[in-house]
Amino acid sequence: MFVILLGPPGAGKGTQAKLLAEHLGVPAISTGNLFRQEVASGSELGRRVRSYIDAGQLVSDETTLSILSDRLSKSDAADGAVLDGFPRTVGQATALDRLLAARSRRVDRVLDVAVPENVLLERLTGRWTCPSCHASYHEINATPRRPGICDRCGSGLVQRVDDRAEAIQIRLRNYRERTRPLVDYYGQAGVLTEIDGDLDPKTVTRAMLKATDSAATV
Ligand code: AMP
């Protein structure tokens, strides 16, 4: 099953994508994490995209599609994936449809995670992430057991450069202008479910599982 998590930055897509993917037995694929891995490795691609990511700007559709299609061609994604942060433009969505159609697959369900903007800002400004396993923490709501250390893998936590105030505003604007039209796109395709992302994480996961179960039985 191919599931897309749609929603603004700070909606909790990363955390939920991992949980949902475990339940569905497919990989969680985040284009943001793929890009950050390239930046950390110092690759040519990483050097090219770094300034866009740090500023909160979208990377070009062409580059994003290339990294995503490479990842989707790995054997663990043959039967499905939970996509987090992709697609972010209508161009990316139509390209994904073509990519999946070539494999006789399709987007099975799109979960639109809705969270009020004031909550997003609060979540993003206090966010700390693990550069190794990508677990996410918050300095008030979800503190790690040992300050600054990831509970899951023991790595030192970092604050993302694009979680600074100026970049957050750019990311939210890009979301409204470039990504929000996907709600109509997938609504018309009949695969969209809205999920209230302003509830406790377990309740959000349950709502997502319910929505994907119903897609599996269609
Ligand atoms: P994320 O971790 O999903 O917030 O992504 C971090 C950054 O990676 C974004 O602000 C963009 O610079 C870049 N990025 C991730 N996914 C995409 C995408 N689908 N299209 C364009 N840029 C992306």
Q: Is the per-residue pLDDT at 217 higher than 60?
A: no
pTM of this prediction?
A: 0.91
Confidence of residue 198 (pLDDT cuts 50, 70, 90): very high
For residues 6 and 175, the answer to whether their CB atoms sit within 8 Å is: no
Confidence of residue 192 (pLDDT cuts 50, 70, 90): very high
Ligand 1 atom closest to Cα of residue 33: 2
13 classed as catalytic:
yes
Going by alpha carbons, the residue nearest to atom 5 of ligand 1 is 32
| Share above pLDDT 70 across residues of the chain, in percent, rounded to a whole number | 98
Residue 34's nearest CA partner among 63, 9, 68, 57 is 68
- Structure confidence at residue 215 (pLDDT): 58
85 lines ligand 1 (CB under 6 A): yes
Tell me 60's DSSP state.
P
Whole-number Å distance between alpha carbons of 13 and 112: 10
185 lines ligand 1 (CB under 6 A): no
Selected catalytic residue, list 18, 36, 88, 123: 88
Q: What pLDDT digit, counting tens, does each position of 52-86 carry?
A: 999 999 999 999 999 999 999 999 999 999 999 99
Confidence of residue 3 (pLDDT cuts 50, 70, 90): very high
Q: What pLDDT digit, counting tens, does each position of 15-26 carry?
A: 999 999 999 999
Selected catalytic residue, list 171, 178, 180, 210: 171
Mean pLDDT across 115-124 = 91
Q: What pLDDT digit, counting tens, does each position of 39-48 carry?
A: 999 999 999 9
Q: Homologous superfamily of 2-114+177-216 in CATH?
A: P-loop containing nucleotide triphosphate hydrolases (3.40.50.300)
127 classed as catalytic:
yes
Selected catalytic residue, list 71, 109, 123, 160: 160
2 lines ligand 1 (CB under 6 A): no
Whole-number Å distance between alpha carbons of 47 and 96: 25
Q: Is the per-residue pLDDT at 115 higher than 90?
A: yes
Whole-number Å distance between alpha carbons of 19 and 193: 18
Pocket test for ligand 1, best of 33, 35, 48 (most atoms within 8 A of CB): 35
Those residues whose C-beta lies under 8 Å from the C-beta of residue 50, and which sit 6 or more positions away, are 39
Confidence of residue 141 (pLDDT cuts 50, 70, 90): confident
- Extract the tokens encoding 179: 């990504």
| Cβ neighbour number for residue 76 with a 10 Å cutoff | 13
Whole-number Å distance between alpha carbons of 55 and 68: 21
Confidence of residue 214 (pLDDT cuts 50, 70, 90): low
Q: Average pLDDT of the chain? A: 94
Whole-number Å distance between alpha carbons of 138 and 144: 8
Confidence of residue 211 (pLDDT cuts 50, 70, 90): very high
- Structure confidence at residue 218 (pLDDT): 42
